[in-house]
Amino acid sequence: MQTKRTIFSSKILPYWLILPQLAVTLIFFVWPAGQAVWQSFLREDAFGTSTEFVGLANYVAILHDPGYLNAMIVTVVFSIAVATVSIVVALVLAVAANSLLKSRSLYTTLLVWPYAVAPAVAGVLFWFMFNPTIGLIPYLLKGIGYHWDDRLNGTDAMILVVIAASWKQISYNFLFFLAGLQSIPKALIEAAAIDGAGPGKRFRDIVFPMLSPTTFFLLVVNVVYTMFDTFAVIHATTQGGPNQSTNILVYKVFTDGFIGLDLGSSSAQSVVLMVIVIALTFIQFRFVERNVQY
Amino acid sequence: MMKKLTLAAAALALSATSSFAATQITWWHAMGGELGKKLDEIVANYNKSQDKYQVVASYKGTYAETMTAAIAAFRAKQQPDIVQVFEVGTGTMMAAKGAVYPVYQLMKDAGAQFDPKAYLPAVVGYYTDTQGNMLSMPFNSSTPILYYNKNVFKKAGLDPNVAPKTWEDVESFSKKIMSSGAAKCGFTTGWISWIQLENFSAWHNLPIGTNENGFGGVDSKLSFNGPTQIRHWDNLKKWQAEGIFQYGGPEGGNDAAPKFYSQECAMVMNSSASRAGVINNAKDFEVGYGMLPYYADVKGAPQNSIIGGATLWVLKGHEAEEYKGVADFFRYLASPEVQADWHQFSGYLPITQAAYELGQKQGYYEKNPGSDVGIKEITLNQPTPNSKGLRFGNYVQIRKVIDEEFQALLGGKKSAKEALDSVVERGDKLIAEFAASNK
């Protein structure tokens, strides 16, 4: 490890240089977060005309709310499903694209495309395709005897949002896996091939272990993505329904705060989310950054 | 910061050129599309009719978004003079005593001529306090009615000029329609919460909640889990399994209208304000209109239906001069000509007796069959404490609870009794929370 040291002639200059970044952080992150924490201790009517300090009552209330516990379970199921689907599919596609010689860059370009689509648009696209009244996929499913109804069947709704949320993320994961695959020394794979290892064994014993830092990094990133960036997907497709079966924590914060105008509870929920983000970020820095091999 | 200031200055300069000495009155509303254009026309006509005040109307998105925007603006002391709030937000607005300027008070303070008796009682009753004072200005009120496909009725061997009167009729008509192959499904409905629970209760003269459906105080409890409502939800589930009824989705039921337009379902229950849309979309068939169905063996049914839609609330914190303008604008809005025009264009109910009479004089209802079904429904009988409307805190969320439990019912997770009991239990909790934060 080498650290570079720059000597500033003025003692104040460095502070001036970090001031813009510091200001942005304070105004756009620390201040609102502080307000959320403060609000989470209050009980207030929508207009803010009567305010009462209630301590931890909002936190106690959400922990006793079956809807909140349901949202926690839904979030866990949703994140694991999206992370698994998008990592597995991306890995398969990356291995397939990597084995191509001529058309690799063409496939890469095509596979990265979905990442440019906004989550809300992706949500609407899948909502249309899966719409029980006008969608194509329910029509095809009827052919094999399955009655698709994401408005009444919670499992169908969950499948829909998992597909819509994973679709985009596959592109992102694909890029990382492709880069990871290309950085594996060819010599290792060739040596294994000479020793008589087939493609399956080569993948299991050499390629996949070499990709494990990438996989772990993507796992954390994907979980963070599903927990916090999939609001638009949910909003455009199921809106948390049917009967809360796709109501993830972030979406509940929105509906309770902005539709229900219960700011205290909504703030308490976002503080809980904040704690989860901090924990995930900590895991990422502590374990992932250390193990990444370049 | 500088950029913001220049922007503000530019905006100020722009608005200053359009109106020199006129006092500006801001109005936030939720009317998009055709309705929004009509609203802009009304505002433009008002601005042309005098030069003291200038009304500036801004579209703020859905009802929920408009209300949230106004509340956020109030907290930041940037609130508009007038905001359009949907009927389920009424409880929240009424409880916000420090934020809302009641309309009867405003009219009195501004010295404007104002006769509350000129308004249709079924409409204003929803928005008056227990002393009979009008708190907000009705603007667009509607009530659910039944639309049916006359061509399908004919094909099924039914009389196309007879709408089903009772739920028994709905069931037998639907069976006939389906067995004859005239349509795939009997009926669908928009607004499960508003039509198949709230209006269903009022229409059968059954209480929705305690304290006269919440009109008497904030610490109310819901009571629409009675045997008749349970019977109805049980039937809806049974009919769904038989294909007689198709679910149109939560909230307004986005899929309900298309099922009717595509002639998949022969009947649809929806807002009277959908009439223009229904006519525009029903290209290949003729539309018939009827009142909401009722169960023939329930005593007191049909009573009268209740309204939905939105009213205009005035927010505190502005100059007296602006409120004078608001009062003047409200006087204009309530005038028979403006009212009749808006009502006939949109299908919303007329809010004054005079506007209704003007329509009759113009022969509008004879030329446009079905356009007065809603008015007939809300004025069918003198409203009882069960059918005046409803007023509960946190009702926006309770509407959501109703949708969720209905989905649990149709999804096979709960029986009608379990679902409705759960609505009441969860709803009561929300009402109690509201009462606690609005002491």
Domain borders along chain B are: 20-142+307-361, 144-305+391-437
Which one of B403, B409, B433, B437 makes the best mutation probe of the A interface by having the most chain A beta carbons within 10 Å? B437
d(CA B303, CA B305): 7
pLDDT of A260 reads 83
**CATH code of residue A273:** 1.10.3720.10
The residues on A that touch B, with CB distances below 8 Å, are 43-50, 52, 132-134, 151-154, 239, 241-244, 255-256, 258-262, 264
pLDDT of A291 reads 57
pLDDT of A4 reads 65
ipTM confidence? 0.78
Phi, then psi, of A81 in degrees rounded to 5: -65, -45
Residues A47, B437: C-beta atoms closer than 8 Å: no
Domain annotation covers residue A159: yes
Weakly modelled stretches of chain B, pLDDT under 50: 1-2, 12-19
| Average pLDDT, rounded, for chain A | 89
Residues A45, B68: C-beta atoms closer than 8 Å: no
pLDDT of B19 reads 45
Domain annotation covers residue A29: no
Q: Structural domain of residue A229, as residue ranges? A: 67-291
Residues A49, B397: C-beta atoms closer than 8 Å: no
Chain B CB contacts of A23 below 8 Å: none
What's the domain count of chain A?
1
Residues B396, A260: C-beta atoms closer than 8 Å: yes
Q: Which tokens go with B64?
A: 């929920």
- Using the predicted structure, report yes or no on whether residue A277 has a pLDDT greater than 90: no
Please determine, looking at this structure, whether the domain spanning B144-305+391-437 carries the CATH number 3.40.190.10: yes
Residue of B nearest to A258 (CA): B68
d(CA B273, CA A111): 47
pLDDT of B2 reads 47
d(CA A129, CA A122): 11
Domain annotation covers residue A31: no
Picking from A45, A133, A123, the residue whose alpha carbon sits closest to that of residue B89 is: A45
**Among partner residues B95, B410, B437, which is closest to A152 by beta-carbon distance?**
B410
Distance from CA of B438 to the nearest CA of A (A): 6
Is the pTM higher than 0.90? no
**Among partner residues A153, A241, A260, which is closest to B404 by beta-carbon distance?**
A241
Q: Which tokens go with B109?
A: 């303070």
Chain B CB contacts of A261 below 8 Å: 67-68, 71, 92, 396
Using CA atoms of A241, A244, A248, A251 in order, give the dihedral in degrees to the nearest 10. Answer: 60
Q: Distance of CA A216 to CAs A86, A98, A284, B396, Å?
A: 13, 20, 9, 42
pLDDT of B438 reads 78
d(CA B390, CA B431): 13
d(CA B301, CA B305): 10
Residue of B nearest to A54 (CA): B437
* pLDDT (tens digit per residue) in B82-133: 999 998 888 888 888 889 999 999 999 988 888 888 888 888 888 888 788 8
Residues B404, A243: C-beta atoms closer than 8 Å: yes
**A-proximal residues of B, 250-279, CB under 8 Å:** 250, 255, 258-259
**A-proximal residues of B, 391-430, CB under 8 Å:** 394, 396-397, 400, 403-405, 407-408, 410-411, 413
Percent of chain B with pLDDT strictly greater than 70? 95
Chain A with chain B: Cβ pairs closer than 8 A: 82
Domain annotation covers residue A38: no
Which one of A142, A152, A156, A234 makes the best mutation probe of the B interface by having the most chain B beta carbons within 10 Å? A152
> What angle is formed at CA B89 by the lines to CA B83 and CA B92, rounded to 5 degrees?
100
* pLDDT (tens digit per residue) in B167-212: 999 999 999 999 999 999 999 999 999 999 999 999 999 999 999 9
Task: Please give the CATH number for the structural domain made up of B20-142+307-361.
Answer: 3.40.190.10
**Among partner residues B68, B250, B413, which is closest to A261 by beta-carbon distance?**
B68
DSSP states along chain A: --------SSSSHHHHHHHHHHHHHIIIIIHHHHHHHHHTTEEE-TTSSSEEE-TTHHHHHHHT-HHHHHHHHHHHHHHHHHHHHHHHHHHHHHHHHHT-SSSHHHHHHHHHGGGGS-HHHHHHHHHHHH-TTT-HHHHHHHHTT----TTT-HHHHHHHHHHHHHHHHHHHHHHHHHHHHHTS-HHHHHHHHHTT--HHHHIIIIIHHHHHHHHHHHHHHHHHHHHHS-HHHHHHTTTT-STTTT--HHHHHHIIIIIS--HHHHHHHHHHHHHHHHHHHHHIIIIIHHH---
B144-305+391-437 and B20-142+307-361 share a CATH fold: yes
Distance from CA of B38 to the nearest CA of A (A): 27
Helix (H, G, I), strand (E, B) or coil at B51: coil
- Using the predicted structure, report yes or no on whether residue A206 has a pLDDT greater than 70: yes
Domain annotation covers residue A126: yes
Chain A CB contacts of B438 below 8 Å: 45, 50
